[in-house]
Chains A and B, each alone.
Chain A
Amino acid sequence: MSFLRKSVQLLGAVGRNQQHLKAIRGAISAAAPRGYSSEASTDYANFPGAKAPFVSKLKLNMPEDYAPIPIYRVMDRDGFIADESQDPQLGREVVEKMFRDMVLLNTMDKILYESQRQGRISFYMTNFGEEASHIGSAAALEMRDLIYAQYREAGVLVWRGFRIDQFIDQCFGNQDDLGRGKQMPVHYGSKELNFVTISSPLSTQMPQAVGAAYAMKLRPDNDACVVCYFGEGAASEGDAHAAFNFAATLGCPVILFCRNNGFAISTPSHEQYKGDGIAGRGPMGYGIATIRVDGTDVFAVYNAMKAAKEYVLKENKPVVFEALAYRVSHHSTSDDSTAYRSADEIEVWNSVEHPISKLKRYMVHKGWFNEEEESAFVKDVRKRVLKQIAVSEKKTKPNWSEMFEGVYAEMPQHLVEQQKELQQHVEAHKEFYPLKNFKQ
């Protein structure tokens, strides 16, 4: 972390004051064990709120004094590994799964986006441009690691084995939807895949993930961590602050994974914060080990997640993880993003800088890429998704009386009565309700 503090200016100052710095360091090591002793060195402060040296010259600590946290990258945009020591050496099978899962997600997104435009589903959010941060991070985890997500992390579910029919049934809210048709599309959840059901309020999952990590830490021989995904916009919420601070003070094995894609709906990140992104808040702000990666580089995300997981489990401490990417998608189907950014800008990120293109170039160099197989795969996914849409669309919704279920573990008397009241009403006025769409 020390490099963070070394701006050009500070380095110069340090050089001029080597002697002084030595004295300070001496004071730190000497004073620390003495705790609140009144005999502390005169140039070392002993306030309970912070341990730091005194200085006798006034200086505003400027954001510019701190070098930005660098962005870890393994593969360049042409798919070449810059430093061989950083090659994760993943086998062909794993890389192919990474690639195909990204392509599957991308293909499914395109079709479901279109089906919303046609009015077949009510809402959708695509994952374009962020596929690598989903797949790279998921691949570095085990199924026992618990996931809390925001809403743009469907790739994590793809990697874990959530099926096309499960995605599409949720979007239609039909009788096979695991969530029983209660939430909007893309609010997925799977107990089996250890993926906590998504909710719309932003950042609420963050302190929850921290609490889950705390509880898991206390299990005997715990070998599982929690990963909490959120966008850079969500990181402005109070719950994000709560999560960072609780994770640090209570020692929780949680990876706070920020997808910094440059936009929160129409708000660009420069209107979201003035500091060094989200990563900049980690080490100095909350005392949390931090890593920042190129979120379009699946290997960088993978390596960093491996390291982060190892650290959080070994130390029972959190990690702030910032994956930088670009939201190629519109925010959602309710948004036209060309109203606030140029089509040219989007195009760059959708081609040369796109995570799928980058991995493809890597695979071409390796001789692992086969154009024919690839287009056959895409064609097959398209066919499966289209077929599933037709099937999911026709499935009936759950019985409408399920609306009253799950509010409490058991249905209280007043809900039993309200359910009965609606039953009688619907019975008497059948013709006004879409009963045929619902399971009887």
Chain B
Amino acid sequence: MIVPQILRGRLTTLRPNVSALFLSRSHFTYYPTSSSSGKKMNMFNAINNAMDLALENDNSALLFGEDVGFGGVFRCSVNLRDKYGKNRVFNTPLCEQGIAGFAIGVANTGVTAIAEIQFADYIFPSFDQIVNEAAKYRYRSGGLFDCGSLTFRVPCGAVGHGALYHSQSPEAYFAHTPGLRIVIPRGPVKAKGLLLACVRDPNPCIVFEPKTLYRAAVEEVPLDYYTSDLGKADVLCEGKDVTLIGWGTQVHVLLEVANLAKEKLGVDCEVIDLVSILPWDTDAVCKSAKKTGRVIIAHEAPYTQGFGSEIAAYIQEKCFLHLEAPVKRVTGWDTPFPHVFEPFYLPDKHRCLSAVQDIMLF
């Protein structure tokens, strides 16, 4: 799909000094994941490093999508074609259903396929291939065939000015599909670990990468090969009063909210990065919900049938006697993602903080 020139310019050619300016206008403050050693990388560097390792470790692995060859519109595949050859790192025609179907076929032969859909907003033409085909391959064939060696990388989420078709968070559409794995990293360390885990996982996986973090998120990333657990949530900050659950960029909003809640309200928040949308970590969520008795779920995607609905319903069913207040969802509104109104659309720290206040007063 075509990236509007302005957007492409901002996302792919921002120099570090300019990015500070960009950050000051964004709706979140980045909280790095600390790691003992490594190299300072932003998220696109970390993803590039992960794909480099994936291609190096498995000499049949393939990497493809629209504009992947020259390095990708977000620079994630930069230099990989030079290093691994144009047979292994290549552009496809501009056709998402083709990319997805092609990737499934590659994976049918047992070869590792890392396929990029340029924006999550453009994943819908491949919905049929992903939902009816990739997700059901193993099941419907009685295990004779599968496409488990397939991973989709899909930039998603708000970016400040992406409007309707460069901002969406479509994870809930896919969360309704048995057979898929869906993960969303909150930063470089996690992005690398999750991508390598998905590449190795014997199920078709989708990694939704919050694109606003590609440059904005910088942290020490270990250079070695490592994987992050799939299906496991991370408790980033312990607390006893309210559980805050989010994923991707929203995790950073919630971490700031936890600080503000302590400072301004004297409320002790526990922040959970769900990480995996499907299958998701019900144990970690319920453990925290039972401890605090109050839960707020926040995501950028719209409210109705967002993944927050699934979590809220599950908590209500499994933790009913422990709840001190109704589970609250702070999300995008039930509208398309708007251009100039983005600051009013997002579930920003102010909306989340006031939800904390409300849930404590319930």
A199 touches B136 (CB 8 A): yes
Contact A199 B98 (CB under 8 A): no
Check A412/B279 contact, CB under 8 A, given A191-B145, A201-B132, A246-B92.
yes
Q: Which residue of B lies closest to A412 (CB)?
A: B279
Q: Is B104 an interface residue (CB 8 A)?
A: yes
**Is A211 in contact with B102, judged by CB distance below 8 angstroms?**
yes
Q: Are A408 and B101 in contact (CB under 8 A)?
A: no
A61 within 8 A of B: no
**Would you give the shortest CB distance from B29 to chain A, in whole angstroms?**
34
In Å, the complex CA distance between A275 and B87 comes to 34
Q: In the complex, which residues of chain A have a beta carbon less than 8 angstroms from the beta carbon of B203?
A: 408-409
Q: Is the CB of B105 within 8 A of A214?
A: yes
A406 touches B138 (CB 8 A): yes
- Chain A residue with minimal CB distance to B102? A211
Query: Taking the complex as formed, is A208 at the interface, i.e. its CB lies under 8 A from any CB of chain B?
Result: yes
Pair B101/A239 contact, Cβ less than 8 Å: yes
Cβ of B13 within 8 Å of any chain A Cβ, yes or no, is no
> In chain B, what residue has the closest Cβ to A409?
B202
Residue A79 is within 8 A (CB to CB) of chain B in the complex: no
B75-90 interface with A by 8 A CB criterion? 87-88, 90
Query: Is B104 a contact partner of A211 (Cβ separation < 8 A)?
Result: yes
Whether the Cβ atoms of B105 and A191 lie closer than 8 Å is no
- Whether A242 contacts B101 by the Cβ 8 Å rule is yes
Q: Which of A188-211 contact B (CB under 8 A)?
A: 189-191, 196-197, 199, 201, 204, 206-211
Residues of B with C-beta under 8 A to A409? 138, 146, 148, 201-203
When distances are taken between beta carbons in the complex, the residues of chain A under 8 Å from B109 are 146, 212, 215-216
Decide: B279 and A238 in contact? CB cutoff 8 A: no
Is B97 engaged at the interface, CB distance under 8 Å to the other chain? Answer: yes
Contact of B195 with A by CB under 8 A: no
Asked, given contacts A201-B132, A211-B103, whether A218 binds B60 with beta carbons under 8 Å apart, the answer is: yes
- Contact (Cβ within 8 A) A206 B101: yes
Among A101-109, A176-184, A276-284, A297-305, the stretch that binds chain B is A176-184
Among A201, A406, A414, which residue has its beta carbon within 8 angstroms of that of B143? A406
Given the contacts A178-B142, A190-B144, A197-B144, A208 and B105 also touching, CB distance less than 8 Å: yes
Q: How far is it, in angstroms, between the C-alpha of A324 and the C-alpha of B108 when the chains are bound?
A: 30
Of the residues B62, B105, B132, B140, contact of A197 by C-beta under 8 Å = B140
Whether the pair A179, B133 counts as a contact (CB closer than 8 A) is: no
Q: Is B128 an interface residue (CB 8 A)?
A: yes
- Which of A148, A199, A249 is the one whose CB lies under 8 Å from B93? A249
CA distance A394 to B148 in the complex (A): 35
Do A238 and B97 form a contact, CB below 8 Å, given A207-B102, A215-B109, A406-B138? yes
Residue on B nearest A403 in the bound complex, by CB: B139
Decide if A213 is an interface residue (CB 8 Å cutoff). Answer: yes
Residues of A within 8 A of B283 (CB): 413
Bound-complex Cα distance A124 to B123 (A): 34
Query: With A209-B105, A407-B178 as given contacts, are A187 and B133 in contact (CB-CB < 8 Å)?
Result: no
Chain A residues with CB under 8 A of B97: 207, 238-239, 242
Q: Does B125 contact A (CB under 8 A)?
A: yes
Bound together, the chains give a CA A212 to CA B143 distance in angstroms of 18
Residues on A with beta carbons closer than 8 Å to the beta carbon of B279: 408, 412-414
The residues of B that contact A239 with a CB separation of less than 8 Å are: 97-98, 101, 128-129
Contacts of A408 in B (CB 8 A): 138, 179, 181, 203, 279
User: Which residues of the other chain, B, contact A177 by a CB distance below 8 angstroms?
Assistant: 142
Q: Does B231 contact A (CB under 8 A)?
A: yes
- Determine whether the beta carbon of B102 is less than 8 Å from that of A210: yes
Q: Which of B115-156 contact A (CB under 8 A)?
A: 125, 128-129, 132-133, 136-146, 148
Given contacts A208-B108, A214-B106, A218-B87, contact A179 B140 (CB under 8 A): yes
B179 near A179: Cβ-Cβ < 8 Å: no
Known contacts A201-B128, A412-B231; A189 and B144 CB within 8 A of each other: yes
Contact A201 to B106, CB < 8 A, known contacts A406-B138, A406-B139, A408-B179: no
Q: Tell me which residues across on chain A come within 8 A of B148, comparing CB atoms.
A: 409
A241 at the interface (CB under 8 A from B): yes
Q: Complex Cα distance A179/B141, Å?
A: 5
Neighbour of A243 across the interface among B88, B101, B113, CB < 8 A: B101
**Docked complex: A205-252 residues within 8 A CB-CB of B:** 206-216, 218, 238-239, 241-243, 245-246, 249-250
Let me know if B111 is at the binding interface, CB within 8 A. yes
Bound-state CA distance A211–B136 (Å) is 18
Q: Which of B105, B140, B142, B181 contacts A215 (CB 8 A)?
A: B105
Structural contact, A211 and B145, CB atoms closer than 8 A: no
Minimum CB–CB distance from A343 to chain B (whole Å) comes to 36
Contact (Cβ within 8 A) B132 A199: yes
Q: Is B316 in the interface zone, CB < 8 Å from A?
A: no
Task: Report whether A413 and B105 are in contact in the complex, using a CB–CB cutoff of 8 Å.
Answer: no
Most buried by A among B60, B105, B133: B105
Residues of B within 8 A of A209 (CB): 105
Contacts of B137 in A (CB 8 A): 197
Chain B residues whose C-beta falls within 8 Å of the C-beta of A148 in the assembled complex: 105
The minimal Cβ–Cβ distance linking A240 to chain B, given in whole angstroms, is 10
Nearest opposing residue in chain B for A204, CB measure: B133
Question: B321 → chain A, closest Cβ, in Å?
Answer: 19
Asked if B282 CB lies within 8 Å of chain A CBs, one says yes
**How far does the alpha carbon of A189 sit from the alpha carbon of B145 in the complex, in Å?**
9
Tell yes or no: B359 within 8 A of A by CB: no
Kindly provide the distance from the CB of B100 to the nearest chain A CB, expressed in whole angstroms. Answer: 8
Q: Shortest CB–CB separation between residue B257 and chain A, in angstroms?
A: 29
Return the chain A residue nearest B109 by Cβ: A215
A204 and B140 within 8 A (CB): no
Partner of B179, one of A146, A241, A246, A407: A407
Known: A216-B109, A250-B90. A211 touches B141 (CB 8 A): no
Contact A204 B128, beta carbon cutoff 8 Å: yes
Contact A407 B129 (CB under 8 A): no
In whole angstroms, how far apart are the Cα atoms of A208 and B97 in the complex? 10
B85 CB → nearest A CB, Å: 10
**With known contacts A197-B141, A245-B93, A212–B108 Cβ distance under 8 A:** yes
B319 interface hit (Cβ, 8 Å): no
- Highest count of chain A CB atoms <10 Å: which of B98, B108, B143: B98
Contacts of A180 in B (CB 8 A): 142-143
User: Does B172 sit within 8 A of A, measured CB to CB?
Assistant: no
Other-chain contact of A204, B108, B129, B143 (Cβ < 8 Å): B129
Asked if B108 and A196 sit within 8 Å, CB to CB, the answer is yes
Q: Which 4 pairs from chain A and chain B are nearest by CB?
A: A211-B105, A207-B101, A242-B98, A197-B141
12 pairs from A and B in contact (CB 8 Å cutoff): A178-B144, A189-B144, A201-B128, A204-B128, A207-B98, A208-B108, A210-B102, A211-B113, A215-B60, A215-B106, A242-B93, A242-B101
Give A residues with C-beta under 8 Å from B: 146, 148, 177-180, 182-183, 187, 189-191, 196-197, 199, 201, 204, 206-216, 218, 238-239, 241-243, 245-246, 249-250, 405-410, 412-414
Q: Knowing that A208-B101, A215-B62, A409-B201 are A-B contacts, what are 6 other residue pairs whose CB atoms are under 8 Å apart, sorted by A's residue number?
A: A189-B145, A197-B137, A201-B128, A204-B128, A207-B129, A406-B142
